[in-house]
């Protein structure tokens, strides 16, 4: 089986059409009879699982069906049903956790990031790595994203009435994906919720998440500029990974860059990474873009990013994401 697969992939890697070489990627799945089923329906279903697994886990070998694949597919299917049910039931099961963002000295909480979580009786707490792609694939990221934005602003409004004058959290960060931003209602919804809760637009930071694709960069820029003109802060999240490269800074009207934790992890032991982070922060400073360093997990990392000029610090050194009541007790 593997030899036949190798023969096919080799031929397709050098496929010539009208004197041009076209490279075609091939992923292969296989199932065994009778080990993986005796009926045609079972064999075909299991073959489908194997092919889908091969697509998700790019490799140079044929992927044979096994029970683990079936178990994972069943979990994803049930999880999709649970999420759909939650969305229809006013996002029951979804909740927010809150992580403080500290000033450049690392002493005072000056902002907070609201982070989405999901929990059900069947699955317990589900990782965002698992449920966010499901939301985006189904389009449910749009109604759930609106719920997150509304809840975040509701919290911010309540806090402003509870905070001591000497302990002022001035901004709340809310993640938004490409799908949410290009949805025609996003701007109007954000402005209406700010008005509903009596908040100044400057208290809201919209973070473009790593999953935010930039296929339609012109359309995205128009939306972001409109939000920015209204006084809402725009932050480029996960900077240094995925779509968030240096070149995009010239297109996206951003006020803040959030250095991804992969850029700060172990930075105290990597001289080249120190210089890279220092260069990025210096460049952003010249462009009037503030920098928040994520993934600050120890004092050594904190010192490096502070010395490099980061304006804000975020990470487990200061605190993990907290439940609403725990956050209020500690920071309000």
Q: Which two tokens stand for residue 85?
A: 């049910």
pLDDT in tens, 227-243: 999 999 999 998 877 55
The CATH number of whichever domain residue 248 belongs to comes to 3.20.20.450
**Residue 289 in domain:** yes
Residue 117 or residue 240, greater confidence: 117
Residue 331 reports pLDDT greater than 80:
yes
Residue 211 reports pLDDT greater than 50:
no
Query: Does 120 share its domain with 172?
Result: yes
Q: Which two tokens stand for residue 208?
A: 């473009």
pLDDT in tens, 9-26: 666 666 777 777 777 777
Binned at pLDDT 50, 70 and 90, residue 59 comes out as low
**Residue 78 in domain:** no
Query: Does 272 share its domain with 322?
Result: yes
Which pLDDT value is given to residue 7? 64
Domain boundary among the residues 65, 83, 101 is at: 65
Query: Does 114 share its domain with 202?
Result: yes
Query: Does 219 share its domain with 292?
Result: yes
**Residue 124 in domain:** yes
**Residue 281 in domain:** yes
For the segment 154-169, the average pLDDT, to the nearest whole number, is 80
Which pLDDT value is given to residue 205? 98
**Residue 73 in domain:** no
**Residue 84 in domain:** no
pLDDT in tens, 283-298: 999 999 999 999 999 9
**Residue 31 in domain:** yes
Query: Does 43 share its domain with 113?
Result: no
Query: Does 228 share its domain with 281?
Result: yes
For the beta carbon of residue 259, count every other beta carbon within 10 angstroms: 30
Query: Does 146 share its domain with 253?
Result: yes
Query: Does 39 share its domain with 104?
Result: no
Percentage of residues of the chain with pLDDT beyond 70: 89
**Residue 79 in domain:** no
Average confidence score pLDDT of the chain: 87
Percentage of residues of the chain with pLDDT beyond 90: 61
- Distance from C-alpha of 170 to C-alpha of 111, rounded to nearest angstrom: 6
What domain range includes position 50?
2-65
How many domains in the chain?
2
Residue 155 or residue 69, greater confidence: 155
């Amino acid at each position: 089986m593997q030899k036949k697969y190798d023969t096919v992939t080799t031929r397709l890697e050098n496929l010539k059409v009208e004197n041009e070489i076209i490279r075609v990627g091939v992923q292969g799945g296989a199932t065994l009879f009778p080990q993986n089923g005796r009926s045609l329906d079972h064999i075909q279903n299991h073959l489908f699982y194997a092919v889908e697994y091969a697509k998700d886990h790019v490799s140079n070998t044929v992927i044979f069906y096994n029970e683990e694949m079936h178990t994972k597919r069943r979990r994803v299917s049930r999880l999709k049903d649970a999420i759909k049910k939650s969305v229809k039931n006013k996002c029951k099961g979804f909740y927010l956790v809150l992580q403080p963002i500290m000033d450049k000295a690392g002493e005072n909480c000056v902002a907070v990031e609201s982070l989405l979580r999901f929990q059900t009786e069947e699955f317990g707490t589900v990782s965002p790595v698992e449920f966010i792609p499901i939301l985006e694939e189904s389009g449910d990221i749009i109604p759930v994203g609106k719920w997150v934005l509304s809840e975040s602003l509701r919290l911010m409004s309540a806090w402003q009435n509870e905070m001591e004058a000497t302990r002022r959290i001035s901004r709340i960060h809310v993640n938004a994906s490409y799908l949410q931003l290009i949805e025609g209602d996003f701007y109007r919804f954000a402005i209406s919720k700010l008005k509903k809760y009596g908040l100044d637009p400057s208290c809201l930071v919209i973070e473009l998440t790593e999953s935010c694709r930039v296929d339609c960069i012109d359309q995205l820029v128009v939306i972001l500029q409109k939000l920015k003109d209204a006084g809402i802060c725009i932050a480029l999240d996960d900077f240094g990974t995925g779509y968030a490269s240096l070149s995009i800074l010239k297109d996206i009207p951003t006020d803040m860059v959030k250095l991804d934790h992969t850029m700060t992890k172990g930075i105290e032991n990597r001289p080249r990474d120190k210089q890279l982070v220092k260069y990025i922060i210096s460049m952003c400073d010249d462009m009037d873009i503030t920098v928040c360093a994520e993934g600050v997990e120890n004092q050594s990392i904190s010192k490096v990013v502070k010395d490099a000029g980061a304006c804000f610090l975020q990470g487990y050194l200061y605190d993990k994401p907290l439940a609403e009541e725990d956050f209020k007790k500690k920071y309000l």
